[in-house]
Amino acid sequence: MTTLTITAKGQITLKREVLSHLGLEPGSRVEVDLLPGGKVGLAPVRVQGSTSWADYWASLPPHDGPTVTLEQMEEAIATYVGEDDQRITREARERRAARGRGGA
């Protein structure tokens, strides 16, 4: 058990082992729950949307399928969304090709 000292201002400094255990760093926020018997519970506040990229990637299932090129993705999208989108995709390709040949 860790013992902490209350300052004259009523503040408590958490020791490194407590901060580490809770996964806290400077600027982190904590929730305090008042429990029966004069006890308190302390827990880190986890903000939605603040997950690190490493946590995000670790949460994804492994990719077992084939690698798909951008052109293959565009074709798949055009196939499923209808004729109008196919026309738009075709025109975009023609514009890209024209730019590649020095056209406007």
Exposed / middle / buried, residue 98 (Cβ in 10 Å: 0-12, 13-18, 19+): exposed
Q: Is the pLDDT of residue 104 over 70?
A: no
Burial 55-77 (b: 16+ CB within 10 A, else e): eeeeeeeeeeeeeeeeeeeeeee
pLDDT at 85: 72
pLDDT in tens, 73-82: 888 887 777 7
> For position 103, what pLDDT does the model report?
57
Output phi, psi for 43, to 5 deg.
Answer: -145, 145
